[in-house]
Amino acid sequence: MSGRKGWRAALLLAATVLGMALTFSLGRWQLSRAAEKEALQAAIAQRQQLPALDGATLARSLAPGQAQALWQRAVTLRGRWLGERTVYLDNRPLQGQAGFHVLTPLQLAGSDAVVLVQRGWAPRHRAEREALPPVQTPAGEVQLTGRITDHPSRVYQLGREQGGAIRQNLDLDAFRVETGLPLAGLMVLQTGPASEGLRRDWPEPATGVEKHYGYAFQWFALSTLVLGLYVWFRILRPRLRATIDS
């Protein structure tokens, strides 16, 4: 009987040590992820202070590493809007109001290259869900400022994405095939004051540092709980019972 109790005690101790080691290592991993995201935030802040790039940078073919190094860099573009290819991404609320993110391809001046530009936010019609907002798309050559990004934000959708002006999401590679346009691998988030029926109250890019710190706290707390339960049930509680019985 004592041998069986000894095995049970050993297994419980092993499970406790394993549980603590696992949860503690997961907490440390979350801290390392937070450190990576903090480094990314610092890199983004540094990039945003660099001089603005021009369209020639986006017109070039870029390796994945080169493209990633340009993320969030300021850019100044000149070109002509391809307004007939404008896409309205639905379910993009702003300050509690339903609306669209409006994306239009821009053919760069002096080049065949085309850059997809997220031009701004426009409100949705309250009664007619399929009505397009009154966005103005100037003809002729335009100049705009923005920052480089890699893809539009995505929302949850049911089923496959359909074509048309109003969509839930937009995949850049699929849109390139659909339109036949020589789209650059990176897109631009237009910045500046409201104009052309569009607002540009873009949030700063979030890397999710706080999320990783929160997860790390949870894992460390769970590790502490495992230890606390073992100490209570295997050490403190038996001693308390022994004291009461005596």
pLDDT of residue 32: 94
Q: Where is pLDDT greater, at 63 or 192?
A: 192
Residue 25 contacts by C-beta under 8 Å, 6 or more apart in sequence?
none
Min mean pLDDT across 102-111, 150-159, 186-195 is at 150-159
Q: Which amino acid is at 19?
A: G
Average pLDDT estimate for 188-197:
94
10 Å Cβ neighbour count for 134?
10
- Say yes or no to pLDDT of 1 above 60: no
pLDDT of residue 69: 82
pLDDT of residue 166: 92
pLDDT of residue 183: 92
Min mean pLDDT across 114-118, 134-138, 157-161, 175-179 is at 157-161
Q: Where is pLDDT greater, at 204 or 172?
A: 172
**Exposure class string for 88-120: b at 16+ Cβ within 10 A, else e:** bbbebebeeeebbbbbbbbbbeebebbbbbbbb
pLDDT in tens, 70-102: 888 999 999 999 999 999 999 999 888 999 999
**Mean pLDDT score of the chain:** 87
pLDDT of residue 10: 85
Average pLDDT estimate for 36-65:
83
pLDDT of residue 161: 63
Average pLDDT estimate for 211-219:
93
Output the pTM of the full model.
Answer: 0.74
pLDDT-based confidence at residue 11 (cuts at 50, 70, 90) = confident
Nearest C-alpha neighbor of 72 from the set 183, 210, 204, 198? 204
pLDDT in tens, 222-246: 999 999 998 888 888 888 887 777 6
Q: Where is pLDDT greater, at 216 or 129?
A: 216
> 100 near 88, Cβ under 8 Å?
yes
pLDDT of residue 6: 75
Average pLDDT estimate for 203-224:
88
pLDDT of residue 25: 95
pLDDT of residue 216: 93
pLDDT of residue 80: 96
